[in-house]
Structures are given as C-alpha cells and as structure tokens.
Amino acid sequence: MSLADFETIPFAEALLRGSRQHPDRDCIVVGDDRVTYGELEVQAWRVGRSLIALGIERGDRVGILMANGLDFTDLLFGASLIGAIPVLYNARFKAREIAHVTADAGIKVVVTNDIVEEHTDYVELLNKAGVQRVPCLQHRIFLGAGQREGFMDRDTFCGLAESVYPDEVEKRHAGTAITDAALMFYTSGTTAMPKGCPLDHIVLQHAGVVGGTDRLRLTAGDVVWNPLPMFHSAFTQPLTGTLHVGGTLVSMAHFEPVEALNLITRERVTVAFPAFPAITLQILHHPRYTPDALKDVRVMLNVGAPEELVAMQSLMPHTTQITCFGMSECGGSVAMCNPDDPLPLRSECSGQALPGIDIEVRDPETGETLAHGEPGEIVARGRGVFRGYYNDPEKTEAAFWDDEWFRTGDLGVLDAEGRVTFRGRLKDMLKVGGENVAAVEIEGYLALHPAVRLAQVVGLPDEKYGEVPVAFIELIPDAAATEAEMIAFCRGEIASFKIPRHVRFVDNWPMGATKILKSALRERILAEVAPA
C-alpha cells in the first residue's frame, strides 16, 4: 500500500469502524472464547466508563498485567477509547521489574486477573512488588473469580460504569489526536531496568497496517493466527493489521502445539504470525502435523537463522514464509520481505523498509553513512519510528542520530536494492526466545547477592530459544556459593527467561586494555557446553 492509503485514525476507532460495518463478525478468538466486533465495542465502552468513574483522565497510565484473554483486549480498547495510555506489563516480569514499571510509568490503576502464566499468581506478585506503596497508584482491580484483599472485584468495577453517561466516553474519544500516546511497552535495553517505550497512534499502527497490507498481503476478512503474548509488539502489530481489514485475530491463552493445530484448522486461518521458530518448529515437528494442516495459510511470518527458515519453508508447501526486522520502538517491523521474492531473499535477509520508513547503515562510532554491503549499525527514521523513551531525555538523546535517525543497536548491511540483512547485536544484549534481555540487568541483580563481587553475563546459543544467559561470577574473598544457589537466588525475582542457564565461577577475568573480554567468556562456555 502507499502511505496515502494509510488511514491515520486512533487505535480504538478501527474497532468502532469494524463494529459499524460487520458487528456480528468475530474480532478476537482466544482458544474457545470469542467476541464479535459489536460485542467488543460494548465491552470497551463499559470499561471506559468504569475507568472514568475511577477518576482516570486523558493521558493517565492504566497498567495491564494479564496473560492472554478477552479481559486483556477489553482493557486495551476501553482505556484507549477514553484517551488513557495502556501500559502493558510483560507478564513474565517478577516483583522487582513490576515495581520499577509501576513507579516509572506513574501508573494510576493496575488491572489483573486470575489467569496465570507459568503458574504465576499476579495478585501475589503485585503485592510482593509493593505496588500498594507506590504513590501514583490509586486503584488495584482484580477481574478474576471471587475477591482478593486490597483489590476491587469484577462486579464492583463493571458496576461503576452505570455512574457515567456514555457520551462522556464519546467526548473523550472524539478528542483523541493521532499524535497522542496510544500505549506503552517496557523494553529492555543496555540499562539496568526496562525502559518505557510510548508509541503514538501512528507508530502503533504503522507496522501492522502498512506491513500487513503491503507485505503480509492481508485482505478483507482474513483470519490471522497469532499465539504470542498480548503485551508484546509482536501481538499488537498483527492486531492492528487485522482490524484494518476487518479480519479475525486468533490467539491462545498458552501455546500448545496440538491446540494450535486444532485452532488453525477450526478457524480456517489464512495468515499466520508465530514469529519465532521456537513456536513454529513445535508445530512442524509434531506427530500430528501434515502439510495439509496449513493448506489455507497463504503467508506466515517467522524470524530466525537463514538455515532454519529454509528448513521450515520446506515443510510448508502451501504457505509462503517471509521474515522481518524490527523492534518495539517501531511498533514491530521496520523491514519485511515480499512474498514474491525467491526463497533465498525471503530467508537470508529481512527485506526492504516498509513504506514510510527510511533505513541506513552507519558507522556506530562516527555516524557516517556506509556504502552498500558494508557492515554497521542499522538506523531508521520515518512514520513508524517512536519519538523517544518515557521520562528519560538522556536515553532518548543517546538513541538517535541527528535527532531523527533511531539507532537500533543492531549490526547489519544493506544491499543495492535496500534489503536489510541482520548480522547481530552491537549492544550488550541477548535475545532469549524473542525477548530482549540486557546483560547489565542480570548482572545488576546478581550483584545484590552478598557473596558476589562481580558478575558478567553472556549469551549461549540455544536450539529452542535462540540464546540463553550464562553468568560468570567472581566471589568476594572467603565467600562460597554454588551454581544451584545462584540460580535459586534469581528464581521468582527476575523473569524466568533472564535467569542464567549456567553459572561459572572465576578468579581471574580475561581482560582487554580497559574492560573484560566477554568474547573470551563466550568462547569458554561454548567450548565447555557445545561438545556435550
């Protein structure tokens, strides 16, 4: 699509438009639960009225801490309708990270339920985080069964809507500008804790609408399967594209390959967005899988190593697989392959920039634009790039060249046709099962252990997750600790995907001129683990 075709409407308006045009069409399916466009609109209005009754004003932050489910989308659209800013907690965060997000974002109300992820009780987690002591937080809502101490229950919250006239929500929605913040993610970077990443309505929808129609080739009424967490840009990207074409988004409370195969067949999925090989391979290698299971799926998006993508494509004869390059700061993808490209181009590179985005490769030290084929830092600017981190001008300034080119922190090259090839990460970052993980965040937490003098974290390649964290630790003199003890110290305190898979203790560090050589640490663990 051309940018002239990109409708600049507030996020929630896409739902209202769909409700006017096809109210009885399924909008969201989560496992066996489903809601039509018309039903979701009614739920969103009710949530908006209840939030207004709680005193939520335009621009206030509403925290959503839930696993995938219809409660999540009710809150997402309801908050958006009244001009509030949904803050999507990573549902895998632990108490320390949740406390940081709550205070840093200035969340005024947090909403959770009793659907658990990885056997986590979110109410207990919020209490452990001490959010009740965060000055900005005024209300805690529990949308589960029964009541939880200190939390408003579902019936009370929903009943608040009766005290607010519907036209109050209509006025709030009418006053929403497309340049207002639409929602906020918290994404890990090279800082000790996740940082706020607000997206306005244009950026939120750009990757989904432009990428969805121009590259995924979404058409009216498509059924899009996306099993990824609703707190992630890899969910909001296909969601906005699906709403744009009046389609149905099929999600899952928890991914399980047999259930996924059943859903894809039952809902007659036409476009799939699993994104990560760790998910797709569980389907393709399951005993129940046959190529005909995906016979209705025209296009599927996955991100992985070229060899992995080629192998997956060979198992999907009815489906064209494409890949992409992107990040949360850009609402998802900034570059995507074209389904018409031959297999090598759909596997070995991430495609061209989406319409409305410019991409360059620059020298990370000087900022000089490099020639085609020369490796450097991938930078992007344009309609789908956010404007900066929340409440942090220093990080924002460091993240941009010339006040407009966003520094992705990723190494890559551009070919003569403008196709991006990802070559790795410049930042001290890991990519664990699709999640960005800052090594310094894990190191900072390990340093809290009374026996630890210094910790350094590197990534170890992993077949399932892409890579996993490994910690090297120097203990203080005369202290003692074990690998199991250090892992237990992390368990329940930081997100499970951040917990080191291996811990090794060192007395001497491999040093360069001024800093520890993490490359040498990485080589050491590779030499030890790879043969096994």
Question: pTM score, two decimals?
Answer: 0.86
4 pLDDT more than 70:
no
**CATH 3.30.300.30 domain span(s) along the chain:** 429-529
Model confidence over 114-146: pLDDT tens digits? 866 556 799 999 999 999 999 999 999 999 988
pLDDT at 192: 64
446 neighbors 471 (Cβ within 8 angstroms): yes
Contacts of 25 (CB under 8 A, 6+ apart): 18, 36, 37, 221, 246, 248
Give one DSSP letter per residue of 368-419, joined into a string.
PBPPTT--EEEEEEETTS----TT-HHHHHHTEETTTEEEEEEEEEE-TT-B
Side chain identity at residue 482, one-letter code: T
Q: What is the pLDDT of residues 384-413, one digit of tens each?
A: 999 999 999 999 999 999 879 999 989 899
Measured CA to CA in angstroms, residue 483 lies from 382, 429, 473, 510 at distances of 46, 22, 10, 21
H or E element, residue 80: helix 70-81
Measure Cα distances from 463 to 92, 228, 277, 304, 327 in Å.
21, 19, 9, 11, 22
Q: pLDDT value at position 519? A: 82
Q: Average pLDDT of 328-351?
A: 96
Residue 69: predicted pLDDT: 95
Give the CA count within 13 Å in the CB-facing half-sphere of 64.
Answer: 29
The two tokens of residue 455 are 């910790």
Residue 511 — very low, low, confident or very high, per pLDDT cuts 50/70/90? confident
Confidence of residue 304 (pLDDT cuts 50, 70, 90): confident
pLDDT tens-digit profile of 74-94?
999 999 999 999 999 999 899
Q: Are the C-beta atoms of 414 and 405 separated by less than 8 Å?
A: no
Bridge partners (DSSP) of residue 432 are 435
pLDDT, tens digit, for every residue of 237-294?
Answer: 999 999 999 999 999 999 999 999 999 999 999 999 999 887 898 899 899 999 999 9
Q: Is 186 helix (H, G, I), strand (E, B) or coil?
A: strand
pLDDT for 531 = 63
Cα dihedral 357, 362, 366, 368 sign:
negative
Spatial contact of 97 and 495, defined as CB atoms under 8 Å apart: yes
Beta strands (DSSP E) in 292-345 are 299-302, 320-322, 324-327, 332-336
Q: Higher pLDDT residue, 512 or 158?
A: 158
The pairing of strands 324-327 and 332-336 is antiparallel
| Higher per-residue pLDDT: 487 or 424 | 487
Distance CA 264, CA 295 (A): 10
* Pair 458, 467: CB distance under 8 Å: no
Positions of CATH 3.40.50.980 in the chain: 37-200
Give, as one character, the DSSP assignment of residue 314.
Answer: H
Q: What percentage of residues in the chain have a pLDDT greater than 70?
A: 96
Q: What is the pLDDT of residues 440-478, one digit of tens each?
A: 789 888 988 999 988 899 999 998 898 999 999 999 889
* Range 508-515 average pLDDT: 70
pLDDT for 514 equals 53
Does the CA dihedral 347-350-355-360 come out positive or negative? Answer: negative
426: exposed, middle or buried (C-beta count within 10 Å: 0-12, 13-18, 19+)? middle
Percent of the chain with pLDDT strictly greater than 90: 79
Report pLDDT for 406: 97
DSSP letter for 327, please: E
**Does the pLDDT of residue 194 top 80, yes or no?**
yes
- pLDDT for residue 434 is more than 70: yes
Cα–Cα distance for residue pair 159/146, rounded to 1 Å: 15
d(CA 519, CA 309): 27
Say yes or no to pLDDT of 215 above 90.
yes
Which token pair is 75?
């809150």
The CATH homologous superfamily of the domain defined by 429-529:
ANL, C-terminal domain (3.30.300.30)
pLDDT of 411 reads: 87
Q: Is 370 exposed, middle or buried (0-12, 13-18, 19+ CB in 10 A)?
A: middle
Burial environment of residue 296 by CB neighbours within 10 A (0 to 12, 13 to 18, 19 or more): middle
The residue behind tokens 């007395």 is 507
List of residues 6+ apart from 403 with CB closer than 8 A? none
Query: How many angstroms separate the CA atoms of 126 and 94, rounded?
Result: 9
Nearest CA to 7 out of 274, 288, 210, 249 is that of: 210
| Kind plus residue range of the DSSP H or E element containing 257 | helix 257-266
Q: What is the sign of the dihedral through the CA atoms of 421, 427, 430 and 431?
A: negative
Q: Which fold has domain 37-200?
A: Rossmann fold (3.40.50)
Counting DSSP H helices and E strands in the chain, the numbers are: 18, 26
Tokens of 202: 């244009």
Q: Which token pair is 3? A: 């940018």
Q: What is the pLDDT of the chain when averaged over all its residues?
A: 92
Q: What pLDDT, on a 0 to 100 scale, did the predictor assign at position 120?
A: 79
**pLDDT for the residue 92:** 87
Residues 6+ apart with CB under 8 A from 72: 64, 66, 230
User: Of how many residues is the chain composed?
Assistant: 532
The model's confidence at residue 378, banded by pLDDT at 50, 70 and 90, is: very high
Q: What local confidence, expressed as pLDDT, does residue 3 receive?
A: 55
Confidence (pLDDT) at 532: 57
User: What is the greatest pairwise CA distance in the chain?
Assistant: 72
